[in-house]
């Protein structure tokens, strides 16, 4: 089961990277188009959609790899038991927030689909299509937070803490 979750987080990271490459290709196409005298329609729109997708797809992978910003200087000074309680409280709050965000991201996709909203660019795109990666990214982040909360409840270190400790050892 853990390999399936790990694959989900890794796939999310790869999708974020793919979106960054897509942004690069779109911008290069626009530059070349301007040099050759033609326009590539809706590049700004599609680049924006890819940026949102890259941001949200990257959340779960970055969380699992310990890449989110934490105040490790203060956290490291806590005794082991206090640190475990602090991690538990933070993960519960993070789970509540990500559940809330996931629900409303999915709700946003559904509303855009029901009301048949489209973009206003040269190429009208149903808005629910570029909103799907945002919702999927939030769901993946919610699962990552839940996964680490369960690890803390079981008494083991969450994945982000293991990576964080590795980074701290490299700095010393």
pLDDT band at 128 (very low <50, low <70, confident <90, very high): very high
How far is Cα 26 from Cα 45, in angstroms, rounded to an integer? 10
How far is Cα 92 from Cα 76, in angstroms, rounded to an integer? 20
Q: What is the pLDDT of residues 20-58, one digit of tens each?
A: 999 999 999 999 999 999 999 999 999 999 999 999 999
pLDDT for position 36: 95
pLDDT for position 163: 66
pLDDT for position 75: 77
- DSSP structural state of residue 65: T
The per-residue pLDDT of the chain, averaged, comes to 90
How far is Cα 90 from Cα 88, in angstroms, rounded to an integer? 6
How far is Cα 56 from Cα 60, in angstroms, rounded to an integer? 8
pLDDT for position 170: 59
pLDDT for position 130: 96
Instruction: Answer yes or no: are the C-beta atoms of 149 and 84 closer than 8 Å.
Output: no
pLDDT for position 16: 97
pLDDT for position 20: 98
| Minimum mean pLDDT range among 36-50, 60-74, 156-170 | 156-170
pTM for the model: 0.88
Which of these, 158, 20, 43, 11, lies nearest to 92 by C-alpha position?
Answer: 158
Collect all residues with Cβ–Cβ distance below 8 Å to 86 and sequence separation of at least 6: 75, 78
pLDDT band at 169 (very low <50, low <70, confident <90, very high): low
pLDDT band at 162 (very low <50, low <70, confident <90, very high): confident
pLDDT for position 66: 83
Q: What is the pLDDT of residues 85-112, one digit of tens each?
A: 999 999 999 999 999 999 999 999 999 9
């Amino acid at each position: 089961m853990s390999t399936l979750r790990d694959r989900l987080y890794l796939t999310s990271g790869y999708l974020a990277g793919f979106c960054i490459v897509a942004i690069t290709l779109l911008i290069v196409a626009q530059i070349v188009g301007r040099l050759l005298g033609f326009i590539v329609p809706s590049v700004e729109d599609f680049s924006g959609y890819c940026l949102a997708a890259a941001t949200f797809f990257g959340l779960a992978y970055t969380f699992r790899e310990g890449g989110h910003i934490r105040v490790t200087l203060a956290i490291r000074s806590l005794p082991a038991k206090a640190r475990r309680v602090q991690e538990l409280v933070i993960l519960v709050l993070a789970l509540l927030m990500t559940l809330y965000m996931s629900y409303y991201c999915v709700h946003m996709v559904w509303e855009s689909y029901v009301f048949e909203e489209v973009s206003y660019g040269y190429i009208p795109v149903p808005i629910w299509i570029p909103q799907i990666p945002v919702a999927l990214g939030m769901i993946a982040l919610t699962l990552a937070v839940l996964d680490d909360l369960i690890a803390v409840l079981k008494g083991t270190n969450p994945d982000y803490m293991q990576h964080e400790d590795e980074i701290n050892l490299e700095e010393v």
